[in-house]
Amino acid sequence: MSEALRVLEAAGFEADYVEGDIGWEFWCKEGNPLPQRTIDLLEKHKIGLFGAITSKPKDEAARELNPGLKDKGYIYKSPIVALRQHFNMDICLRPCKTYKGNPLNFIQRSPDGEIVEPLVDVAVFRQNTEGLYGGVEWSNPPDIVYEALMTHPQFVKNFGKVPKEELSVSTRIFTKKATERILRAAFDHARKYKYKSVTVCEKPNVIRETSGMMYKMARQMQKDDYPEIELWNTNIDAQMMWLTKNPDNYGVIVAGNMFGDIISDGFAGLIGGLGFACSAQMSESGVAVFEPTHGSAPKYAEYKTPIVNPIAMIESACMMLDYLGENDMAKKIRNAIAAVIEEGKVRTYDMMKMPGRPDVVEKGAASTIQMTDAIIEKL
């Protein structure tokens, strides 16, 4: 985050930065990883630049809670998911674009043995608030839920004899309004940036009601409003195979919450991994948060010299600039990143395929700060 702010300043972006508390530290101390004061800040200022934070499973969270807060009903919930749902930041955009010269780029071999580096330029639109991440789930479901499930013949057939206390249930809920919004955002993006196709990546042959609804709505929308853009339909499992077979065929991809998460990480792997993966999350009310898609790396935080790749965070800041209409400034930063990568003199440990150890800088890898310095120099 600190390095991303240095790049913004060097590029000429003028802003007053207000820090908001979020994450593991505040869960442990206060029993709330997303304090109300931070929600209030976002309601006031609308724009958030979000640094990577730690999240842990439910039982581990309970163990690390301040002893004075234990047994008082505090339950850990992902603060970023809570943030998305509170502000209804239902549209998530994750661009995945190749930087020429990145040694981590996906490569193929042609029939005659020549190395080929396909150009990946994919924009993944992920529905951000519904589906499997909607949080509507139970272990040992209450009687009213169990009785409702028992009205479905498939539930009776497959699970009707399973003791209720042995059941865990997670729902996958799609609404027409949210589905329409994510589809239209995908088609509008394709039209604005001249992508030839929008691919709905779901599983309508099996998950007929939710995936089926999304694809049906996409077909009608394409026919009525976007006839010049091709509509493709892929199943998530097949898509994960095809993305390494012909990644340069795809333009805009749209999916529900879980499948969008999967496919965006898959494409991110083709452009160098999570050190290059950025995202934007936007709401109908104008609240928008920009963040790298990687999580935190606590083991690296104690290193005397920071070694992690700052490009995903800097790219997220560029997405913020685009959202604010500072497109020329965002382009200038991206051009600087591209120049550093293509030149190949400055590479972080991940770009050099080294294990993330404290001595990587001594072995020739650039530190977090050195990579930022190189980008600023190109600016």
pLDDT at 66: 94
Give the DSSP letter of residue 194: T
Pairing of strands 197-202, 168-170: unpaired
Q: Which two tokens stand for residue 217?
A: 């709505």
Alpha-carbon distances of 10 from 3, 210, 344, 366, rounded to whole Å: 11, 46, 22, 20
Contacts of 58 (CB under 8 A, 6+ apart): 75, 76
Helix (H) or strand (E) holding 300: helix 298-301
Q: Which residues of 120-148 are buried (b: 16+ CB within 10 A; e: fewer)?
A: bbbbbbbbbbbbbbbeeeeeebeeebbee
pLDDT at 69: 94
Q: What is the mean pLDDT of the chain?
A: 95
Whether the pLDDT of residue 133 is over 90: the answer is no
Q: What is the pTM of this model?
A: 0.92
pLDDT at 78: 87
Q: Taking the CB of residue 254, how many other CB atoms lie within 10 A of it?
A: 29
DSSP letter string over 121-138?
EEEEEEE-SSBTTS--EE
Residues 134-161, mean pLDDT to the nearest whole number = 95
Residue-wise pLDDT for 43-81, tens only, equals 999 999 999 898 888 889 999 999 999 989 898 988 988
Whether the pLDDT of residue 219 is over 90: the answer is yes
pLDDT at 55: 84
Q: How confident is the model at residue 368 (pLDDT cuts 50, 70, 90)?
A: very high
Residue-wise pLDDT for 76-111, tens only, equals 988 988 899 899 999 999 999 999 999 999 999 989
Give the DSSP letter of residue 367: P
Q: Supply the CATH classification number for the domain 2-15+89-135+174-378.
A: 3.40.718.10
Give the domain ranges of the chain.
Answer: 2-15+89-135+174-378, 137-170
pLDDT at 352: 96
Work out the percent of the chain whose per-residue pLDDT is above 90.
90
Do 323 and 357 contact (CB within 8 A), yes or no?
no
pLDDT at 185: 97
pLDDT at 218: 98
